[in-house]
Amino acid sequence: MTTMPNIDRRSFLASSAALAGSAAAGLALGFHVPFADGASAAEAAPEVNAWVVIKPDDSVVIRIARSEMGQGSLTGLAQLVAEELECDWSKVSTEYPTPGQNIARNRVWKNFSTGGSRGIRESQDYVRKGGAAARIMLIQAAAGEWNVPVSECSAANSVITHQPSGRTVTFGKVAAKAATLEAPNDVPLKDPKDWKIIGKSVKRLDTADKVTGKQVYGADLTFPGMLSAAIRDCPVFGGRIKSFDAAKVETMRGVRHVVKVGDSAVAVVADTWWQAKTALDALPITWDEGANAEVSSDTIAAMLREGLDAKEAFVGNENGDVRAAIAGAAKTVEAVYSYPFQNHACMEPMNATARWTADRCEVWAPTQNGEAALAATAEAAGLPVAKCEVYKVHLGGGFGRRAMTDYVRQAVAIAKEMPDVWVKLLWSREEDMLHGRYHPVTQAKMVGALDASGNLTGLHMRISGQSIIAAVFPQNLVNGKDPVTFQGLNPTGAESTFGYTVPNLLIDHAMRNTHVPPGFWRGVNINQNCIYVECFMDELAHAAGQDPLAFRRKLMASHPKHLAVLDAVAARAEWDKPAPTGIHRGLAQIMGFGSYVAAVAEISINDKGRVKIHRIVAATDPGYAVNPDQISCQVEGSFVYGLSALLYQECTVKGGRIEQENFDTYNVLRIDEMPKVESVIVPSGGFWGGVGEPTIAVAAPAVLNAIFAATGKRIRSFPLTHHDLKSA
C-alpha cells in the first residue's frame, strides 16, 4: 500500500523545496506548478498520503501520475480517489507528481506511462486504495481527537461524523494529524453499487483554462532568459549531416548559436523561435542520406507483398487445420488488404524546454511517459537520474506520439551546448510530419473457406509488415514474435480477444520491418486488424449470401460480450429494418484495450462519388464506466481520428523520406464532414476497459462496409482518396 517510511518523506519534502527555483518561474506565468504549494506550505497543507493532500480550508489536491492529453483521465482518476476518500467533489483539484519524486519515493505513484488506454484501467485499484487509506486515516485522526472508537465514526462529503454524539469535523481540521498516522494495512474498497462519484458524468477538472487561453502547454513555456530552438533532422531516416554553413546565418537577427544535434540534426538557437526558424530555413545543410534514400512506398509495398506468401511466419492464433479446410471448401474467398503509414499530427508540435548545468538538468515537457522522459533526460545530459527532473505539462494532443522521447533528448542535447540557459525546442509542423513515429505499414491476405451451406469453416489471415515492438521495445519480442501485432486477434485474454469462433483458424505474421520508424498510433494495431477482419467478414457474408449481422452472429455464440455490443448498435440503428432511401449501412465490432466496441455507419454517396457519413451508432462496454460523458467524448473524437485516417491520411515514402509535410497534403476531417455520433455505453461490470482508443478501429470498417452496400465496391487500400466511388 501507500505506506511511506519517514525517511522517504523527509527527502521528498527537502527535494520539493529545491524545486522552488523552477516553480517560481512557472508561478510567474500564472499556472499551477506541481508541488509549488505543497513545498512552500508543507506543514499547513499536509499530505495524508501520496495521493491526497488536504489543506486547512478543506480543499483537496489529488495527485495524478498519468498524463492528461485530452482523454479526460485526469478527471476520471480523481473521481476514483474521491469516491473512496468520501470528499466533497467541489473542493477537488489535481496536480502532477514528478517522475523524479516517484523514483525518490520508491515509485509510490507506480506507472506514469499514459498510453494503451491504460490510465484508468491499470491504476484503478491502487488509486482507489489511496483514497480509501486517506479516508481511514482521517477518520482515525478525528476519533483520536474525540477519544471515541473509530467504529462509531464515518466520513461523507469531506465531513467526519461521530454517529452517537452527532459531533462533526471537516477533513481540513484533522488532515495534519492524519498525516502523522501509520497507513492502514487493510483497505477494503466500496461495492460498485455504493459508488456516488464513479459512474457520474461530472465535469472535467481541466476545462476552465482551456477556454480562456490561460492553459500553458509545453510550446507556451517561458523562463527568464530563455532562448528558443528550431531543429532539422535528416529527412531521410538513418541519414546524417555531412556539413552545414553556420556562418551564413550566425549574423541574422536574434541568432545565438547553431548546434549540431547528434549525427543527424542541426538546430538554430535564437532569442525567439521565429528568428530561429527563419535562420534554420536559410541555413545551408548538406546531408549524407545513406542507403535508405533508395527506399520508396513501392519498394516497401513489394517487400510486404512477398511476406503474404512467405513460408516463415509467427503464429498468433491457431486452431484446427486451416489448410485442409480451405482445400476442402465448397467455396473460397480471397482478398489482399493494405494499410499505409500515418502521422499522429498532434495539434501541438513536439517540444521540450531544458536547462542543463554541470550538476543538474531540468526538463519541462508534454510527455505521455514522464519516467521515460526522465531517463532520456539523464542519458542525454550525461548526469545521474537523481540530478535530473522532468516536469510535466498538459499535452496538446498525444495519441501515442508523445510516448516517445526523441524530442526530449534533442532539447537536452541543445541545452547542454548552452549551460545554465533555458532553451525551448519547438518543432515546426514540417519537422513533426517528417519525423513521426508512424502508424505501422502492413498488408493482409485473407482466405476464407465456406461450406455448401455458407458456413465459415476456415479462415487464414496472413499479416505482413512492420512490428512496432521490434522498433520500440525489442526486449519485449517473444522469440522474435511481436505479440502486439495480434491485437484484437488473440485466442484468449482480457486485453483483445478475437470475437469469432472459426473451426479452422490461422492468424500469422510475416514480420517485414522498414527504415521508417513505427510508433503507437492511437488505436495501434487494432486499426488495421479490424479493417482486415471486419471488411473480410462482410466479403464472406456476401459470398455466402447472408446478412452481415446474421453471418457474424453465428460465429459469436462463445463471445457474448463482443456480441452484446454488436447487438446494441444493430438494435439502435434498427438494422432489421430497411435504411431510408439513399442511405446504406455497414457494421463492425472488435475488442481492444480491454473494452468491447461496435459501430453501425449510415452513409450516402452522391453522383460524383463523394461519401457522406450521416450517422454513426457506436456501443462501448468498458466494464465500468467511470465518467459516461467523457466516454462519449472519446467515442465521438475517435470517429474523427479514425475517419480522418480512412478518408485522407497517408504518409508516402519517396527517396527514403516522407512526402507529406503539412496539413495541406495530410488532410483531416473537419466539422462539415462530422457525422452525428450516437454513443451507446453498455457497461456490463466486473472489469475495467480503456476507452481512449478502441472505438477508432471500428470507424473505418463500418464505413467501408457501408460503401460496399452502396456501390458494390470493395476498398482494400487506403486512404479513400485513391478510389473512384462513382457508381459503375
Partner 1 sequence: MTRLTVNGAQHDVDADPDTPLLWVLRETVGLTGTKYGCGIAQCGACTVHIDGQAVRSCSLPLSAVAGKQIVTIEGLAKGDGLHPVQKTWLAMDVPQCGYCQSGMIMAVAALLREKPKPTDADIDAAITNICRCGTFQRVRAAIHATADA
Binding-site ranges for partner 1 (CB under 8 A): 69-72, 203-204, 206-217, 219-220, 222, 228, 253, 272-274, 278, 345-349, 394-399, 426, 428-429, 629-630, 633, 636-641, 662-664, 668-672, 674, 676-677
Task: Give me the least distance between CB of 221 and partner 1, in Å please.
Answer: 9
CB closer to partner 1, 56 vs 637: 637
The secondary structure of 518-559 as a DSSP string is B---TTTTHHHHHHHHHHHHHHHHHHTT--HHHHHHTT-TT-
| Angle (CA) 7 13 17, round 5° | 145
Task: Give me the least distance between CB of 690 and partner 1, in Å please.
Answer: 16
Residues in the chain: 728
Task: Give me the least distance between CB of 669 and partner 1, in Å please.
Answer: 8
Task: Give me the least distance between CB of 590 and partner 1, in Å please.
Answer: 19
CB closer to partner 1, 307 vs 400: 400
Cα separation, 392 vs 370, in Å, equals 7
Cα separation, 530 vs 196, in Å, equals 36
How many other β-carbons are positioned within 10 Å of the β-carbon of residue 372? Answer: 18
Kindly provide the b/e burial profile for residues 400-409, where b requires at least 16 CB atoms within 10 angstroms of the residue's own CB.
bbbbbbbbbb
Task: Give me the least distance between CB of 213 and partner 1, in Å please.
Answer: 2
Task: Give me the least distance between CB of 535 and partner 1, in Å please.
Answer: 23
Task: Give me the least distance between CB of 644 and partner 1, in Å please.
Answer: 8
CB closer to partner 1, 15 vs 278: 278
- Cβ contact 566:536 at 8 Å: no
- Residue 538: what are its φ and ψ, rounded to 5°? -65, -40
Burial class of residue 724 (count of CB atoms within 10 Å of its CB; 0-12, 13-18, 19+): exposed
How many other β-carbons are positioned within 10 Å of the β-carbon of residue 446? Answer: 22
CB closer to partner 1, 206 vs 379: 206
CB closer to partner 1, 314 vs 427: 427
Nearest alpha carbon to residue 230 among 263, 262, 259, 251: 259
- Cβ contact 365:438 at 8 Å: no
CB closer to partner 1, 540 vs 616: 616
CB closer to partner 1, 344 vs 584: 344
Task: Give me the least distance between CB of 344 and partner 1, in Å please.
Answer: 8
Task: Give me the least distance between CB of 215 and partner 1, in Å please.
Answer: 6
CB closer to partner 1, 468 vs 618: 618
- Beta strand segments in 138-195, E: 153-156, 159-162, 167-170
Half-sphere exposure of 302 (CA within 13 A, CB side): 5
- For cell 486499426, the residue is 527
Task: Give me the least distance between CB of 721 and partner 1, in Å please.
Answer: 17
Cα separation, 365 vs 362, in Å, equals 10
Coil, strand or helix: which one is 674?
coil
Coil, strand or helix: which one is 617?
strand
CB closer to partner 1, 397 vs 586: 397
The secondary structure of 438-471 as a DSSP string is BPPPEEEEEEEEE-TTS-EEEEEEEEEE--HHHH
Nearest alpha carbon to residue 63 among 20, 98, 100: 98
CB closer to partner 1, 478 vs 671: 671
Write the CA distances from 80 to 20, 87, 392, 682, integer angstroms. Answer: 30, 11, 21, 20
Cα separation, 9 vs 25, in Å, equals 25
CB closer to partner 1, 289 vs 678: 678
CB closer to partner 1, 615 vs 713: 615
Task: Give me the least distance between CB of 373 and partner 1, in Å please.
Answer: 18
Region at 716 (left for phi over 0; alpha for psi -120 to 50; beta for the rest): alpha
Task: Give me the least distance between CB of 517 and partner 1, in Å please.
Answer: 20
